[in-house]
Amino acid sequence: MARIPRDDAIHGLASQAGATPPRRPAHCFCCAPPGAVAAARDSGKGKNLLQTMPDAQRLALPLAEFAPRSMLDVKATRVAYPAFPVIDVHTHLSWMSETRGGVSVGEAMTYFADPAELLPLMDRKGIRTLVNLTGGVGRGLEETIARFDRAAPGRFLTMTEPSFGLFGEADYPQRQADAIAHARRAGACGLKLLKTLGLYLREGIDEGALVGIDDRRFDPMWEACAAHGLPVFIHSADPLAFFQPTDRHNERYEELARHPDWSFYGEGFPSHAELIAARDRVIARHPRTTFVLMHVGNQAETLDAVSACLDRHPNVHADISARIGELGRQPRQARRFFERHQDRLLFGTDAVPPPYGEEVPQQLLGDALYEIYYRFLETEDEYFDYAPAATPPQGRWSIYGLGLPHAILRKIYHDNAARLLGMDP
């Protein structure tokens, strides 16, 4: 019930911007003085006595300036420290420097932070290990591992990425498999795929037709990961709303307005369902390879579908990174999901250090981000922000804590990841 005034306000603004004329929401008669109610009911002249003059100036407030403060007096628990040591399986501490049409190429790396800057935060927030997914390839990967894993053993782990810069060369499939073997020798703990595969990589890297996630030329890569014991952390598709028109019905309208390049709606892109189906064909074809679906498989809106995928494929796990905004607005369904798949869900945030992370507040590495995740998992607090930002960055809603029991928290925070990544218990 508490959301009604806020929603009404948004509808008022939306209708102002759209084609339909502004309309007051229907009034509940109990809010009106009894005399007026009786008069309205008995009036034969069609005049609604409850009608008031709308404030046109207030209704014209741009959505971007609308920043309501919840009036709910509800419990607000600060969880400064997690119940168990945390392994954050999804961070970005480095990035491949060179890109072609959204595809990372080459071996040069850009580093977002140094261990010395990160370790105090990790100690403060009870984080045992950060897994840096975008560790690069070749010499770049070796440099990343020296810079993090070797500098602070046990506190940082690094994953490698595909060598898409070689895609199109006749011997790519074998060279890619060899690159996985090299990454293993260099000390990488897994292979990370960005949404590049399915949405950016083309036959000519940045030109020509999009390359399918289930393209056979990647089969040696998936098999090499199985052979070398490297789990595949795969980001396929994106939130459902990114495949819908960016119009007034889109629940992530403001986010897409701020980042228009995140929209994959329309001609030239596969649908969300096609991308997920291609991903699932890869999973089925490589049962010896372990796949971890990033961002709850980019299907946090349809948890039953993720559940079905986990049930069907024992080689699948999922992380919760950057999706507590989805999970936390369906807390009862989400809690059942965590209970059912408690052995295969991993704690991750998708954290990016400042200043880079400031562009994406739901991923901004810092105390505030971790406290929100801990509060979401550990408490039954109601109606709180899912990101450290003045306006909810992914969509205008708030979340509810899951209040998971300790036995599940321990697995999500730590044990599942430790097992998957071959870490000491």
Distance CA 317, CA 336 (A): 16
Q: What Å distances lie between residue 287 and 184, 230, 260, 419, CA to CA?
A: 20, 13, 37, 18
Do the bridges between strand 103-111 and strand 94-100 make them parallel or antiparallel, or are there none, so unpaired? antiparallel
Least separation in angstroms between residue 124's CB and Zn ion is 23
Which region, judged by CB under 5 A, interacts with Zn ion, from 117-125, 349-357, 381-389, 403-411?
349-357
Query: Binding segment for Zn ion among 93-101, 274-282, 347-355, 365-373 (CB under 5 A)?
Result: 347-355
Distance between CA atoms of residues 352 and 356, nearest Å:
7
d(CA 386, CA 290) in angstroms, rounded, equals: 29
CA distance 77 to 390: 19
DSSP 3-state assignment of 106? Answer: strand
Do the beta carbons of residue 287 and residue 386 sit within 8 Å? Answer: no
Query: In angstroms, rounded to a whole number, what is the distance separating the alpha carbons of residues 294 and 290?
Result: 13
Cα 294 from Cα 131, distance rounded (Å): 13
Characterize 285-296 residue by residue with b for buried, 16 or more Cβ atoms within 10 angstroms of its Cβ, and e for exposed: ebeebbbbbbbb
Question: Which CB, 133 or 186, lies closer to Zn ion?
Answer: 133
Is 177 or 417 the residue whose CB approaches Zn ion more closely? 417
Stretch that binds Zn ion, among 59-67, 73-81, 206-214, 346-354 (CB under 5 A): 346-354
Site string for Zn ion, 305-344 (x = CB under 5 A): ----------------------------------------
Q: How far is the CB of 360 from Zn ion (least distance, A)?
A: 10
The piece of 257-265, 332-340, 345-353, 354-362 that touches Zn ion (CB under 5 A) is 345-353
For residue 381, the minimal CB distance to Zn ion (Å) is 26
User: From the CA atom positions of the chain, what is the Rg in Å?
Assistant: 24
Q: Which stretch binds Zn ion (CB under 5 A): 159-167, 258-266, 350-358, 384-392?
A: 350-358
Check binding of 350 to Zn ion (CB under 5 A).
yes
The residue (of 363 and 398) whose beta carbon lies closer to Zn ion is 363
Q: Which is nearer to Zn ion, 194 or 404 (CB)?
A: 194
Closest contact distance (angstroms) between CB of 331 and Zn ion is 24
Size of the site for Zn ion (CB under 5 A): 1
Nearer Cβ to Zn ion (350/385) = 350
**Shorter beta-carbon distance to Zn ion: residue 295 or 341:** 295
Shortest spacing between CB 92 and Zn ion, in angstroms = 6
Contacts of the segment 330-336: beta carbons below 8 A, 24+ positions apart: 330/303, 331/399, 331/400, 331/401, 331/402, 333/303, 334/303, 334/402, 335/402, 335/403, 335/404
- CA separation for the pair 296, 322 (Å, rounded): 9
Residue 412's identity, in one-letter code, is I
CB of 132 to Zn ion, least distance (A): 10
Report the SS3 class of residue 255: helix
Least distance (Å) between residue 365 CB and Zn ion: 12
> For the chain, what is the largest distance between any 2 Cα atoms, rounded to a whole number of angstroms?
86
350 vs 415, beta carbon nearer Zn ion: 350
- Name the residue type at position 220: P
Which lies closer to Zn ion via its Cβ, residue 250 or residue 349? 349
Q: Which is nearer to Zn ion, 89 or 105 (CB)?
A: 89
Q: Which is nearer to Zn ion, 349 or 379 (CB)?
A: 349
CB of 387 to Zn ion, least distance (A): 15
Strands 127-132 and 86-91: parallel
Q: How far is the CB of 350 from Zn ion (least distance, A)?
A: 4
Site for Zn ion in 262-291 (CB under 5 A): none
Contact 198, 212 (CB under 8 A): yes
Task: List the structure tokens of 122.
Answer: 């990790």
CB of 7 to Zn ion, least distance (A): 31
Residues at the site binding Zn ion, with contacts judged by CB under 5 A: 350
